[in-house]
Structure 1
């Protein structure tokens, strides 16, 4: 409950930021427009953002005929979690990663990358999928897709402010430059706070669903170490969706490295180790800095 209240407050802060940009662009009328824009964006995200994210990431739908092992594994874990069977997608990138999306458990999807299936064994892959199913069960998928939509809108309005200059009484060109730089940064910080709140609980609940906390811990270590060496091109083109992935998919070549959307991987591993024997963490390769 505390986590849900914190998430609500953070999302309200992001909406307020969007309204503030509207005020800078056009005073009271601009603020009202931004409020309507935010509401319309949230309604759109409720119904369509899952499809948009999958399309942006180049996801390809699979079934029992095209990827029987993966689909059957998702089905088994969904039964363990008492969830409806989600749609299953494969992302055409060699970076190991995964995410879930959808407005509710009845309209959800799990997506894994080609690279993920190459480097993980079955237990580790089950741990990652269970983590994503935990997001679906906790309805984090809707929260993060709406948050990503708002973050993208804030970045877009910051750019509009730069090129239009906004109202001269409210900052002009200099204000536009500051808004363009600071508004996306503030939105990213809010995304970071929301994502961190959700990732720890998804790790815990995912470990319960798959029944093997250290398999998920091992998967996190492998993904974190390998993801740094492989660029995820679709994710780089759509950085607002980075918080949806199990591990940050961005290379850090831009300002993304200044604020992480995910908790430290080693801390996540340590928390998972606490769910089993105290010595379990020693069997997981450390995450390279």
Structure 2
């Protein structure tokens, strides 16, 4: 669910910021012209050189984030990888069986790693750099709250993400967004640095680049979030094809019922609710949601 995208975006911002800091240090101590100013007409900026630089940094950051996605998810969520050949309890065996059966039904030739992490949140996510190196993880809270059919529907949804190659597609989109983030943050930083005294110009520009890059990355995430909401409908349909429409719809209704009960019990500030990223929010906040409203997802699935 939202965990997959959250890890990816956070890692992407960290990687991009690190690349820019390293580049700034290299250009400072080697004398390389990393400012992309050529003293020409207009703003005196080498736009072509800056665009090439932005493309390289943007897509490098995106693909490094993709490569690290599975490792980051395991570390940040303390995921316990459940190996089929190990000694498993009934719950672990059931999760592994579902993941492998649905993966075969989806045509995956390499079975995803299966993980369970201890958390009261009702959540699951799929991540990984490729279909061959993917991870499907579920929370202990989900296994406790949901019945067997609902759990299968949720897992089918995550397997659909893997089968659809959503992480790779998201990486390409993030690479394009990164390119524009780097490009416009550099231009904005150059303009800001020209407003201060010359002896402060380099320091101000360095700080401005970091600030603008983080701000523009947040704005760029709106595009990524919009695409994520679009892909959720596809994953719902894929989950319905794998587990059956009744189980997929039952999983969504179970999530909706859980959220509604939490609201009645005034637990909307509970981390178990906030981290689900599945409820969808109205108004402006919907733009920052990685998932559409559950009512809309249920309606689209049932009217398919």
- Any idea what SS the aligned residue of 1:111 has? strand
Distance 1:50-1:261 versus aligned 2 partners, 3 A rule:
same
TM-score (norm 1): 0.66
Identify the residue that residue 222 of structure 1 maps to in structure 2.
254
Q: 1:168-207, aligned counterparts within 5 Å?
A: 168=191, 176=208, 179=212, 183-207=216-240
Q: Structure 2 unaligned segments of length 5 or more: list them.
A: 1-11, 21-33, 37-45, 196-203
2:61 to 37, 41, 56: 41
Matched, 1:127 2:159: no
- Any idea what SS the aligned residue of 2:154 has? helix
Q: 1:101-112, aligned counterparts within 5 Å?
A: 101-112=127-138
Q: Distance in 2 between matches of 1:232 and 1:33?
A: 41
Q: Which shows bigger deviation, 93-102 or 78-87?
A: 78-87
Identify the residue that residue 68 of structure 1 maps to in structure 2.
93
- Any idea what SS the aligned residue of 2:189 has? coil
Q: Distance in 2 between matches of 1:250 and 1:26?
A: 44
Asked if the contact 1:117/1:125 (under 8 Å) is kept, the reply is yes
Q: Distance in 1 between matches of 2:159 and 2:171?
A: 15
Identify the residue that residue 8 of structure 2 maps to in structure 1.
none
Q: By how many angstroms is 1:273 displaced?
A: 1.4
Superposition CA RMSD, Å: 4.1
Deviations 1:31-72 (A, max 9, x none): 544322223223323433222233223322112423211111
Identify the residue that residue 190 of structure 2 maps to in structure 1.
167
Matched, 1:82 2:97: no
- Any idea what SS the aligned residue of 1:166 has? helix
Asked if the contact 1:232/1:249 (under 8 Å) is kept, the reply is no
Identify the residue that residue 139 of structure 1 maps to in structure 2.
165
Q: 1:44-55, aligned counterparts within 5 Å?
A: 44-55=64-75
Deviations 1:254-285 (A, max 9, x none): x966522212211110112124xxxxxxxxxx
- Any idea what SS the aligned residue of 1:167 has? helix
Q: Work out the number of aligned pairs and report it.
A: 235
Q: By how many angstroms is 1:202 displaced?
A: 0.8
Q: Structure 1 unaligned segments of length 5 or more: list them.
A: 1-13, 237-246, 276-289
Greater Rg over alpha carbons, structure: 2
Deviations 1:97-134 (A, max 9, x none): 11111232222111111111111111111111111111
Distance 1:186-1:105 versus aligned 2 partners, 3 A rule:
same
Matched, 1:266 2:256: no
TM-score (norm 2): 0.63
Asked if the contact 1:232/1:250 (under 8 Å) is kept, the reply is no
Matched, 1:231 2:271: yes
Asked if the contact 2:112/2:132 (under 8 Å) is kept, the reply is yes
